[in-house]
């Protein structure tokens, strides 16, 4: 069976510079899901025009938007770039320029021009689950995200907070801590 070999990491995007180029439907989708997961993400959106939906969400989150054409100089100090213009040549240029600067780049909806894929993301308080189908079926990713949003109880965060408090009380001895935490949580997997 083919395996998904992508490695998920949970980025602190509030302390990284993210650039989105494009202001249309696809740019909106990417910005919407980025801000849904990470409301304080440090993002700059640059495009020749913006939909009113994009302007509205940017305003709500204090996300700067800048009118203008893509230019290589925009990559200065960026850590992550998402290209979402409707001009495939421009998207390719963004990809090439980013690679030359070792910036992680995603050309939206174009798997072969992606260093990483955006995933389906479920957030319940401190708990976060990221979903990917290895780029095979974004619609299945969406359905799985909706499914987990429904079935994972909202109060899972209380469990997380309580386990954190208990963990604090066991700080001194590492192996005892692991033993106690394993003992306490063993039954969580038994139906
Ligand atoms: C998860 C999510 C995150 C996000 O966008 O933030 C995301 N796509 C979402 C939705 C969605 N995207 C598309 C549809 C229409 C139905 C369909 O085509 O299936 C729908 C469904 C809808 O809109 O309802 C169109 C589409 N997307 C890609 C292609 C190109 C191709 O597959 O070749 C095409 C065809 C373009 C065309 O027709 O030309 C490619 C990618 N889309 C990915 C992510 C990456 C793989 C993720 C994975 O590994 O599973 C990857 C590889 C790259 C990337 O963009 O990062 C978000 C759901 C968020 C949520 O709901 O929670
Ligand atoms: N809309 C869809 O459902 C869909 C589905 C699959 C693939 N795509 C592809 O995704 C890409 C984006 O689609 P969209 O629907 O968001 O397009 P769109 O027409 O809604 O928006 C395109 C955006 O790109 C900006 N842009 C164009 N050239 C630019 C440049 N040189 N510098 C800065 N900004 C520039 C425009 O100002 C605009 O904001 C296209 O390549 C499209 O073929 C779209």
Query: Cα dihedral sign for 175, 181, 184, 189?
Result: negative
183-191 mean pLDDT: 79
145-158 mean pLDDT: 94
What local confidence, expressed as pLDDT, does residue 190 receive?
63
Query: pTM of the predicted model, to two decimals?
Result: 0.94
Please state, in angstroms and rounded to a whole number, the distance separating the CA atoms of residues 181 and 178: 5
The class of domain 13-118 in CATH terms is: alpha beta
Least confident stretch, 33-47, 112-126, 170-184: 170-184
- pLDDT per residue over 40-61, tens digit each? 999 999 999 999 999 999 999 9
What is the Å distance from ligand 2's center to 105 Cα? 16
In 22-139 the beta strands, taken as DSSP E runs, fall at 43-47, 65-67, 80-83, 104-107, 120-124, 127-131
Which two tokens mark 85?
């213009």
Map tokens 């989150």 to a residue. Answer: 61
pLDDT band for position 74 (cuts 50, 70, 90): very high
pLDDT band for position 172 (cuts 50, 70, 90): confident
The protein residue whose alpha carbon is closest to atom 6 in ligand 2 is 109
What local confidence, expressed as pLDDT, does residue 91 receive?
98
3-state DSSP percent of the chain in helix, strand and coil, to 5: 45, 15, 35
Q: Count the Cβ atoms, other than its own, within 10 Å of residue 132.
A: 19
DSSP string, 73-89: GGGTT-SEEEE--S-HH
Nearest to 58 by CA among 18, 16, 105: 18
Residue 191 has pLDDT above 80, yes or no: no
Which two tokens mark 91?
């998207």
Strand 18-21 relative to strand 80-83, pairing: parallel
125-132 mean pLDDT: 97
Q: Domain limits of the chain?
A: 13-118, 156-189
Asked if residues 27 and 46 have their Cβ atoms less than 8 Å apart, the reply is no
Strand 120-124 relative to strand 127-131, pairing: antiparallel
Q: What residues does ligand 1 touch, defined as CB less than 6 Å away? A: 29-30, 33, 106, 108-109, 111, 114, 117-120, 132-135, 137-139, 141-142, 145
Helix axes 25-37, 52-60, angle to 10 degrees: 20
- pLDDT per residue over 84-118, tens digit each? 999 999 999 999 999 999 999 999 999 999 999 99
What local confidence, expressed as pLDDT, does residue 69 receive?
98
């Amino acid at each position: 069976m083919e395996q998904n070999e992508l490695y998920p990491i949970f980025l602190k995007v509030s302390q990284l510079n993210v650039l989105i180029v494009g202001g249309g439907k696809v740019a909106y989708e990417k910005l919407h899901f980025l801000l849904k997961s990470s409301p304080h993400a440090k993002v700059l959106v640059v495009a020749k025009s913006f939909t009113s939906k994009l302007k509205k969400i940017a305003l709500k989150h204090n996300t700067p938007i800048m009118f203008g054409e893509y230019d290589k100089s925009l990559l200065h100090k960026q850590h992550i770039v998402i290209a979402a213009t409707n001009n495939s040549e421009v998207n390719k240029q963004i990809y090439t320029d980013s690679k030359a600067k070792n910036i992680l780049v995603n050309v939206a909806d174009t798997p072969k021009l992606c260093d990483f894929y955006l995933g389906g993301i479920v957030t319940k308080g401190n708990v976060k689950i990221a979903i990917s189908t290895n780029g095979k079926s974004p619609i299945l990713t969406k359905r799985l995200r909706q499914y987990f949003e429904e079935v994972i109880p909202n109060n899972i965060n209380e469990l997380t907070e309580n386990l954190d408090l208990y963990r604090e009380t066991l700080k001194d001895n590492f192996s005892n801590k692991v033993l106690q935490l394993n003992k306490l949580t063993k039954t969580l997997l038994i139906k």
